[in-house]
Structure 1
Amino acid sequence: MPSSLRLYKQELTRCRDHFRQLNLQKERGYLMKLTTFSANVENIMPSIPRSEHETLFQELLLQQIFTNFDQKCLTAGDLVKTRGAQEYLAKQDGPRIYCTYHLGSYRLLTSVLFRRGVDCILLVGNNMNRTQGDDMTEHIEALREKHGLTNVFRVVEAGHPSAGLTVLRELKAGRSLIVFVDGSPETAPEPGEEDKFLSVPLGSRSVLTRKGVGYLSHATGAPIIPVVSYRQPDLTNVLHCLDPIRPIRNSDRDMYCREAMTQLYKAFWPYLKRYPAQWEGWTFIHLFLEPELAKNTRFNGWPSRPTFNQDRYSLCDLEQAPILFDRRLYQTYEITEDLRDLLLNINSVDSVEGLVGKEMFGELMEMEVLR
């Protein structure tokens, strides 16, 4: 094993050992973050039992530490294994649109492409640019100085009014675009933006994804290159380059856009199933979930011995206040300690309606808190 790779893995092992000594449950907001994560996993990948969600969540937190370490490590990009259509990770004539996901050490794609001489335009959300942009730029400039690189690197904020035109000009100038196709919290749909999104399947649900990548590819003729990053059990980072998605000249733009975005999520799914603990998207994908239609259920009267609907609701604390969390609609309700205790001990209560009153009982039944 090369010494640089051995040292790299030793550092990650130290990070992991330190992480395992932390009492995460005492961290501020831990339970609420875990509950949201759990709801997202359950809605999209229900085959993973809820009993495994906390282990997955803690593994994701560790992966985020690894990802941050990789951005500070100049040699991390040199240690990456590349697989699949690797020729598309090298400098060639003509621009490309690299579509990747927040899986594994996802920032390494930018490092690898820049290291190989590709002119890179990184499209990120505003918040990501504020929190990570300086670190990424510092990393790139360090690579430039170390290896004498002269190629272009630029960060463009997705939320800027001129972002679309800026990226279009850069592509037409021959520079390649890097975009996280699974979105980020600040790029989630806002009221009035419906025409900018389309719905694509992801696991057991459908998610809303921006059309921009498909439009840019269609307008410039630049192929879309899907790239998946993941970390193997031995801590080795892998970039798997999938077959390109190429626009057909004079084809229908909207049809191509829908097909391209559907293919991008379809290509991602096998890797998400294999490495679910490495996807940072679990922390924000609920912002992109397409709302489910309400189910019409026939009213057959209220049960005499109702139970707490734990399939749909979870109890947790937010700022030391008891919270009822709707895992389907992602809504939180601040409740009294008495109601929390009732829901936790409902099987020992003879008459819930008699305890809370007819009006409250009816509301809990209509909201499906009780069933």
Structure 2
Amino acid sequence: MINYINQTSYEQVLNSLTSHYAQTKVGPEQTDLWRLFVFFAANCRHFLELDNLAEQRSLFARVRMNQQLSIWEDAHYSHLPKEATTGLDEHWWQQLRQEPGIICTFHTGSYRLINHLLLKQGIDFALLVSGKVKQRDGADFEQRYQKDVEDGKTLTVLNAEDPSVLFKLRRLLQQGKSLLAYVDGNTGSGSNGIAIPFFGKEVVVRKGLPMLAHWLDVPIYPLANIRKDEMLTFYALSPIKSSKRINKHDFALETMQRLYGFLEYTINDYTDQWEGWLHLHHAVTQQFCAEPLLLDLIENADQKAPLLPFELNGKAFAFNPLTYGSYPISRDVYCRMLNYFR
């Protein structure tokens, strides 16, 4: 846990971010940001039963504030107090040293700090990220974290969407390295999705990590971070170990259910500390078609209908957060719908 209570610079940053996002109201004039909010609002309604527009906007602002705070904490890690390494007890570190495996974590709280903690503890590991993140931040990751890497070691950043990533991961794990992966990123190569429960609904998630753990007989270490009472707290479940008595598909299903159950429990009282709400629509299982009634409402621009207008590549659409359906609309209808959200 990290105590910031006497960290003046941190308090200033926190107050500044809180004030900024409290005063920032997302609206349709912010085309790209509004489109992100439209899908975020659908996720709030679908999984959290949060259908009030003002409350959705408030949660959106807090999620983005926590996102920026996490970036700041990562960039200023060297200025944080030594207590940063006490969030996980020595028993957890000893387990990881004795039996390297797959650290499965989430985009919660200050989720980037685990990279620093692993390096400070001398853990040899590889970081698995999406292709987009690898291209955008891969070099920055290596430069930022390399100063914490022990002599003779290097930080390896792997692209989860690389078709050959499975063989690279196998080689690294067999060499005694651990792997750090953000399970809720839900990226990978190939088609290997399974449906599991989440907040009373259903999502499709990738099963590659538990399949890999079963194949190589390495443990999975579930881990999450949450800001609580001015502390950054790491929560860890007991390692999940595979067994040849259970086939790899059943193990993958059970493991992903446990991991997402852990995530749900962790963020239940801290919904604004999970970035996944911004992207969860990609994991929604339902497939919907256009409903004539709602299409009629679009044409009449009925502002009481739960429809959200947005733009993409210069074209206008109406989005139904109840069904995740998007429908082309005329520019005139789009402009009339905008008035409700300004």
Q: Which moved more, 1:25-34 or 1:265-274?
A: 25-34
Shift of 1:254: 1.0
Match of 2:36 in 1: 33
Matches within 5 A, 1:158-169: 158-169=160-171
Match of 2:77 in 1: 74
Q: Which moved more, 1:48-57 or 1:105-114?
A: 48-57
> Does the residue aligned with 1:137 lie in a helix, a strand or coil?
helix
1:239, 1:340 → 2: CA distance?
Answer: 45
> 1:294-325 CA deviation, whole Å, 9 max, x = no partner?
7999x9xx99xx99485652234567865311
Matches within 5 A, 1:127-146: 127-144=132-149
Alignment of 1:43 onto 2:46: yes
Structure 1 unaligned regions, length at least 5: 347-371
* Correspondent of 1:336 among 286, 311, 330: 330
> Does the residue aligned with 2:109 lie in a helix, a strand or coil?
coil
1:77, 1:225 → 2: CA distance?
Answer: 25
Alignment of 1:248 onto 2:249: no
2:156, 2:12 → 1: CA distance?
Answer: 30
2:260, 2:75 → 1: CA distance?
Answer: 29
Whose Rg is larger?
1
2:97, 2:188 → 1: CA distance?
Answer: 33
> Does the residue aligned with 1:200 lie in a helix, a strand or coil?
strand
Match of 2:217 in 1: 221
Alignment of 1:175 onto 2:177: yes
1:35, 1:320 → 2: CA distance?
Answer: 16
Conserved 8 A contact 2:188-2:208: no
1:153, 1:46 → 2: CA distance?
Answer: 41
Conserved 8 A contact 2:219-2:242: yes
1:275, 1:2 → 2: CA distance?
Answer: 18
RMSD across aligned C-alpha pairs, in angstroms? 3.5
Conserved 8 A contact 2:21-2:61: no
> Does the residue aligned with 2:107 lie in a helix, a strand or coil?
coil
Structure 2 unaligned regions, length at least 5: none
* Correspondent of 1:287 among 282, 291, 295: 282
Match of 2:317 in 1: 323
Matches within 5 A, 1:265-304: 265-292=260-287
1:223, 1:3 → 2: CA distance?
Answer: 33
Conserved 8 A contact 1:228-1:241: yes
1:4, 1:41 → 2: CA distance?
Answer: 32
1:110 maps to a residue whose letter is N
* Correspondent of 2:131 among 116, 126, 129: 126
Alignment of 1:202 onto 2:198: yes
1:337, 1:3 → 2: CA distance?
Answer: 50
Match of 1:87 in 2: 91
1:20, 1:343 → 2: CA distance?
Answer: 25
* Correspondent of 1:260 among 245, 252, 255: 255
Shift of 1:215: 0.9
1:51 maps to a residue whose letter is A
Shift of 1:85: 6.6
Higher relative contact order (CA 8 A, sep 6+): 2
- With the length of structure 2 as denominator, give the TM-score of the two structures: 0.83
* Correspondent of 2:119 among 114, 118, 124: 114
1:87 maps to a residue whose letter is H
> Does the residue aligned with 1:228 lie in a helix, a strand or coil?
strand
Shift of 1:12: 2.5
Match of 1:212 in 2: 208
- With the length of structure 1 as denominator, give the TM-score of the two structures: 0.77
1:86, 1:48 → 2: CA distance?
Answer: 44
Match of 2:109 in 1: 104
> Does the residue aligned with 1:102 lie in a helix, a strand or coil?
coil
Q: Which moved more, 1:120-129 or 1:330-339?
A: 330-339
Match of 1:57 in 2: 60
1:263 maps to a residue whose letter is R
1:335 maps to a residue whose letter is I
2:81, 2:313 → 1: CA distance?
Answer: 40
Shift of 1:292: 4.9
Conserved 8 A contact 2:106-2:224: yes
1:130, 1:11 → 2: CA distance?
Answer: 32
2:57 maps to a residue whose letter is E
Conserved 8 A contact 1:322-1:336: yes
2:304, 2:199 → 1: CA distance?
Answer: 22
Shift of 1:42: 1.2
